[in-house]
Amino acid sequence: MSAEGAIPPRIRDALDTADGYVLVVAGRPGTGKTLFVHEVFRQYENSLLILSNAEATSASEEKFSSLPEWKDRHVIAQYWRAIDAASLHESSLSDQMSSLLGKVSVKDSHKIVIIDSWTDFLMPIQPEDRYSVQQALIYAARKEGKKLILVTEGEWEDGSGPHLHHSADAILQLRKLRKDQRLYRQMTIDKMRNMSIEQDSFLFTLNDGRFSYIPWYVHQFPPIMVGRDSIPDPTEFRVSTGNRSLDSILNGGFEKSTLSLIEVENLAAPYLETIYIPFLSNQLQLGRPAVVLLPEGWPPDRFMQGLSHFIDPNIIMKQVVFFGRHTLGQKNVRVIDDDPWKTLQEIRYESTQLEREFYTQTTELFALDTLENKYGVTNVKGMMAEITASLPETERTVVTILSQEQALKSSSIAHSVHLRVQELSGVLSVCGVNPKTNYLAVRPLLSKGFLDYDLVPIV
């Protein structure tokens, strides 16, 4: 992740404004609060980092020791310190901090003051004085056009520190969320004064100890492209998915002679395109033919249009046979029969004919919603069982697409690979059910002048 992609844009805008601004970073232990403020400290050379005893670790010292003026840009707030909290409201922010740190000198040149953690920082101060200390710091920061970032423990909605949350200009809540027995991290902007917010929730990663949010807006998915060069089969037993990062996760790609399952949140274009464009484009570039059972409502032209950005349309016409409920009378399109077993025979026939013509195995891509709507769940289960049983006799690669909205469920299908594609906080993500992986966010990647996509672990 680049530095520009590490801090969400509205938060960066607040830090760059000439006005004073108070940000509260809240969250339970281990949610990434410290790494977030460390990223702010790393990117803003005019910042001061005040660490409590708990946060002042040797790892922090090692991480930041190479930064410019590190010794002058951080202070450790010892618990046992002599605090002078009298008449703070009459002093500048730097003088207030000097008094609260036990007469430690704090320069006035710092434009951003980060206190990690605010909870520990207040502990030595008498309880009856804490609110007045807090308000004096906030007043001075705003008056002097400085930024004050306070890291607090716990969920702010649970009532902890209500006065602080009412007084703050922005509240950033960090959480660890679990879904499908997997973990991902999320930042939510619960409050942001004087800022219009286009997106209030962000996925973020902690790759290499660096906070990096995934910078895409809600419902705006990244473009799915393929590289110029095809990806060869990694082994004689696997075929590439068309994406190197996904191949790596699957130990080389989809298995031959077995069935792979792609479960999508719905059959909208972004979810399907993430899988089928790189995969089929790569197969066609390698000279392999394909049989495609179209998703319900998708005419052949829609599939061909997506592929034709990367593959010559004449190649698609020659190497791909489409099956669908609604056809346009094209040469390479077949209507599925009312009899499910006859349809299965016709698919096998077309696959065999393509293999004879091109002297290589056919790739098959099936959208199961079309079969379910035509034949019902029971028949589809039987068809998939028949296909799975016959695959070991071939070296074909069969990829099935299952919508989460269907009555047919993944447990009804025998598969070697099971991926799930869905949206999390506005970010298109993939997780592996088999093999099991955490969530992986799709990120556009510029490679050799062509856009591809990368998978960023969400941990």
The confidence score (pLDDT) of residue 403 equals: 93
pLDDT confidence bin for 379, thresholds 50/70/90: very high
Residue 451 reports pLDDT greater than 70 = no
The confidence score (pLDDT) of residue 165 equals: 84
pLDDT confidence bin for 73, thresholds 50/70/90: confident
Percent above pLDDT 70 for the chain = 90
- pTM equals 0.82
Strands across the sheet containing 397-403: 333-335, 320-324, 290-293, 363-367, 397-403, 259-264, 417-424, 427-434, 440-447, 450-457
The confidence score (pLDDT) of residue 218 equals: 43
The confidence score (pLDDT) of residue 159 equals: 46
Separation CA 67–CA 44 (nearest Å): 11
CB 11 within 8 A of CB 120: no
Residue 192 reports pLDDT greater than 90 = yes
Q: Is 118 helix (H, G, I), strand (E, B) or coil?
A: helix
pLDDT confidence bin for 2, thresholds 50/70/90: very low
The confidence score (pLDDT) of residue 226 equals: 62
Residue 234 reports pLDDT greater than 50 = yes
Q: Output the CA–CA distances (angstroms, integers) from residue 127 to 6, 40, 80, in the order listed.
A: 36, 30, 16
The confidence score (pLDDT) of residue 201 equals: 87
Q: Which stretch of DSSP H or E encloses residue 171?
A: strand 170-179
The arithmetic mean of pLDDT across residues 278-307, rounded, is 90
The confidence score (pLDDT) of residue 1 equals: 40
| Six token digits for residue 25 | 């970073």
132-177 confidence digits (pLDDT tens): 899 999 999 999 999 999 999 876 555 445 688 889 999 999 999 9
Q: Using CA atoms in the order 65, 66, 69, 71, what is the torsion angle rounded to 10 degrees? A: 10
Catalogue the E-assigned strands of 86-193. Answer: 112-116, 147-153, 170-179, 182-192
pLDDT confidence bin for 352, thresholds 50/70/90: very high
The confidence score (pLDDT) of residue 227 equals: 61
Name the DSSP letter for residue 405. Answer: T
The confidence score (pLDDT) of residue 82 equals: 79
| Six token digits for residue 299 | 């005419």
The confidence score (pLDDT) of residue 395 equals: 84
The arithmetic mean of pLDDT across residues 295-321, rounded, is 89
pLDDT confidence bin for 453, thresholds 50/70/90: confident
Residue 178 reports pLDDT greater than 80 = yes
Residue 421 reports pLDDT greater than 50 = yes
pLDDT confidence bin for 12, thresholds 50/70/90: very high
Among the residue ranges 33-42, 51-60, 84-93, 338-347, the one predicted with the least confidence is 51-60
Residue 388 reports pLDDT greater than 60 = yes
pLDDT confidence bin for 9, thresholds 50/70/90: confident
Domains assigned to the chain: 3-213 (3.40.50.300), 238-457 (3.40.50.300)
pLDDT confidence bin for 301, thresholds 50/70/90: confident
The confidence score (pLDDT) of residue 220 equals: 55
Among the residue ranges 95-99, 325-329, 385-389, the one predicted with the least confidence is 325-329
Average pLDDT, the chain: 86
Among the residue ranges 62-76, 132-146, 406-420, the one predicted with the least confidence is 62-76
